[in-house]
Structure 1
Amino acid sequence: MKEKRQKKKNKSLKAISTIFIIVMLLLGVLLVVETCYLGKIKSVKLNESDISISSIPKTIENDEGKEISRNEVTNILLLGVDNQEDASDSIIVISLDDTKKQIKMSSLLRDTYVFYGDDKVNKLNYAYHYGSAVNSVKVVNEEFKLDIKDFVKIDFGGLANIIDTIGGVEVDIKHNEVSLLNSYVKSMSKAAEISYTPISKSGKQILNGQQAVAYSRIRYVGNYDYERTERQRRVLNAVFDKIKNTPITKYPDLVSKLAPYLETSLSNTEMLSLCSKVMMYGKNGIKETRCPYDDLKTDSEIKGIFYLKWDKDKNIDKLHKFIYTQ
């Protein structure tokens, strides 16, 4: 069970990383198209008094004993939200290192046992449930001793619209996935009060947005959640490959479809600056980690609910070393 959970975390990080790159690729192209499309993204103003920015030392010592400035690193919280659960399915600290010209992604595991204030404890992902993205930033800053001032939130519901806009994606459907895919499509269309088209066979085929999202949600077949994240990975990679080969003239339409599913505290100018850095720094690769770390956490069950208990001080020290010195 522990190994399956670990594999799931690895795949989830890769999936949300792909989503982030898709979003930045789309927005980045607008640097040479029309910045007015960014105005369709929901903007939320953050007050520093609401997000508990941690007072941390201006420098941090690396493994060689050298003092490294923290000022050259900008941290932004990326939230992948499933509105059906009203919780953040993915919580990632995006770190842009202006000295090393590098992007780092630190996945904060959703089951991490955290305090919400007033002696309340819960899973990290439910910080969103109790106060949306603003509360998520606040809890992450408090629990991980960070100085995050901005966030980008992605609603996974926007993925179906993107897939339809690019003409669908090709997926190889297994025989035992057909009925479950159709079941998910039916329930999704009923909830949205729209019509649906079931698939009639297994094998390679082009799925529309609704079908592709339904496919990525299948979990009660094969290796359960592990294969579910594999399906998500296949769909996201197919989307990414298709977008890379999409004519630039279609990008405004893609962004127009995606924008309603995005929310950020960044201004348009800051968003464009971020996109520019992501495209430039992304050429140097993306470093990834997850926290709590394997050797500094334990699986725990409280009243039948799974949590990750963690050695907070040691995890924070290791996370900060990754973000600022590696």
Structure 2
Amino acid sequence: MAKPGKKKKVLFVLEIIVLLLFIGGLYVYGQISSRLDKIEQPELKKEKIVVNQEAPKMTGYKTYVLFGIDTRGEGSQYSAQNSDTMIIVSVNNDTKEVRMVSVYRDTLLNVGDDTYTKANAAYALGGPEQAITMLNTNLDLDISDYATADFSALVEVVDDLGGLDIPLSYAEIEHMNNYCVETSKLTGKDYTPIEKPEPKPEDEEAIVGTYHLNGVQATSYCRIRYTASLDMGRTERQRRVLGMLFDKAKIAGLSSIFKIMDDVFPMVTTSLSKQDILGLIPTLIGYKFTDSTGFPQKFKFSNIKGSIIVPTDLENNVVELHKFLYDDQDYTPSSEVVARSNKILEIVGGESKLDDAAKTTTQDTDTTNANDTFVWSGDNTSGSTDNSGDYDYDNDYDNGGYDGGYDNGGGGDYDNSGDDGSYDNGGDDTGSDTGGGDYDGGDDTGGDETGGDDGFSDDSAADSGASSEEQ
């Protein structure tokens, strides 16, 4: 039988431990709370955000959207701030699973006011409110919260977490090195070019090795769009990098987390309150990324004036989106989505007028001073037409935009289990499906992760006429 004095000593020690843990928790809370003041939190005009009346209300889930924009200073031809990165994040609070869907920037959608153009223009036209509304009304979603950053923030996060080990193809090394020149100049961060293997491999899209990338290099990797899988590969790279960063942050020390907050939070704009963000901290610890994909899954290309991505059709793509994000097998598209689906195909002259491959361009020959706009507006009364249909199009659309020959083959998905989550982006599969390289939480040397598109926002002119140089 323990002596009374011994029991008191044990209780005293336990009380000290609990007190220290409490004080430590208060310290950490205070450090995080003070750093959250560095995030820009402008008032989101929620009355401007539209949700389709027939859109389903998903219980047990919270949906966010991450926007990546390109801010290169006043006077820059990129300063219109299109959201070339749009990642929908679905959080399942019951299973603790997180899924991501990238919306391809060149997807023809209704961006507001019955104007059909590239989806990335909505942010430049009306800020986060219009961009969120664009996603909600075209995809039957109910998003009300967002976060926005430019690619400088990604450079900082990667460096603060010690870099990333990423499998690269010969083509990716070449294009990444090219992008590093500008990324380094814009961010003031250094890098060392990766030496390309010799001799040049016959298959330039095949993985040649795993390389340790710093912030400039990893961000440049996320911006590549000149390999075979175009925007589908670019967005796949972005999701892969975000998944790897999420995993590294979960095991990082407090000093690293505090440094990320100090370096990155001033570059972030969000609708989330300080309490909202503090409430998300358990998500970082206890949740996991399980899968990711791109939208639309089934698409073709229209080369009316340059190259745009056309969902074939929007209605069925949205059905698949809801299955992926919410495991909703009973979802029926709203009348708004059905109407927009029909209008998109009407605008491009029907699916028979679409191409399986995008127009050819390269990083060296891409147009540099053309407006990157394709616009059809329901109230356009100028009466002009072209040979693609009885609709008016903006004549300033550039001739570039894509590396040739992509066959609608899909983006490989982020998948912790290591399964190859690639899909076929449908249509008539006339070439090779190049998108199968999944991030599996380890050394991903399999799969042909060859995709590529511009990074965290290169195509920065809205269809209001601002000039855009596609890098």
CA 1:178–1:121: 2 relative to 1, 3 Å? closer
Partner of 2:48: 50
Query: Is 1:253 matched up with 2:259?
Result: yes
Match of 1:306 among 305, 308, 314: 308
Distance in 2 of aligned mates of 1:227 and 1:273: 33
Post-superposition Cα deviations, 1:71-115, rounded to whole Å, max 9, x if no partner, equal 332222222334465322332222223344433333333222112
Aligned amino acid, residue 127 of structure 1: A
- Compute the displacement of 1:37 (Å): 1.2
Query: How far does the alpha carbon of each residue in 1:284-322 deviate from its partner, in whole angstroms, 9 at most, with x for none?
Result: x5244443332xx43322212322234333333443344
Closer, same or farther in 2 for the Cα pair 1:278/1:55, shift >3 Å? farther
**Structure 1 Cα separation of the partners of residues 42 and 125 of structure 2:** 17
- Offset at residue 211 of structure 1 (A): 4.4
Q: Does 1:91 align with 2:86?
A: yes
Amino acid in structure 1 at the alignment position of 2:35? Y
More helix by share: 1
The code of the aligned residue for 1:53 comes to V
Percent of aligned pairs sharing the same letter: 31
Q: Match of 1:40, SS?
A: coil
Is contact 2:111-2:130 (8 Å) kept?
no
Q: Does 1:81 align with 2:69?
A: yes
1:271 paired with 2:259, answer: no
Which structure has greater strand proportion? 1
Give me the TM-score of the superposition, normalised by structure 1.
0.68
The answer to whether the aligner puts 1:113 opposite 2:108 as a matched pair is yes
* Residue equivalent to 1:16: none
Looking at structure 1, the residues matched to 311 and 141 of structure 2 have their Cα atoms a distance apart, in angstroms, of: 19
Once residues 93 and 216 of structure 1 are traced to their aligned partners in structure 2, the CA distance between those partners, rounded to angstroms, is 17
Unaligned runs of 5+ in 1: 1-29, 61-68
Q: Deviations over 1:184-235 (max 9, x none)?
A: 444344455x585654855887654334434554566x75748767876786
Instruction: Give the C-alpha shift of residue 151 in structure 1.
Output: 1.0
Distance 2:172 2:293 in 1: 32
Question: When the two structures are superposed, what TM-score results if normalisation uses the length of structure 2?
Answer: 0.50
C-alpha displacement at 1:179, in angstroms? Answer: 7.4
Determine which of 128, 142, 146 is the counterpart of 1:151. Answer: 146
After superposition, where does 1:172-251 map in structure 2 within 5 Å?
183-191=178-186, 194=188, 196=190, 198-199=192-193, 201=195, 208-214=214-220, 216-217=222-223, 223=228, 225=230, 243=249, 246-251=252-257
Gaps of 5+ in 2: 1-27, 73-77, 198-209, 329-471
Could you tell me how far 1:125 is from its partner in structure 2? 1.6
Report the counterpart of residue 25 of structure 1 in structure 2.
none
Which of these two proteins has the greater Rg computed from alpha carbons? 2
Write the distance in 2 (CA, Å) between the matches of 1:233 and 1:102: 15
Choose which of 295, 313, 332 in structure 2 pairs with 1:291.
295
How far apart are 1:50 and its partner, in Å? 0.8
Q: Distance in 1 between matches of 2:224 and 2:93?
A: 40
Residue 373 of structure 2 is matched in structure 1 by none
SS in 2 for 1:132: helix
Secondary structure of the 2:37 match is helix
How far does the alpha carbon of each residue in 1:225-280 deviate from its partner, in whole angstroms, 9 at most, with x for none?
48767876786677566545543223211111111222110111112223323533
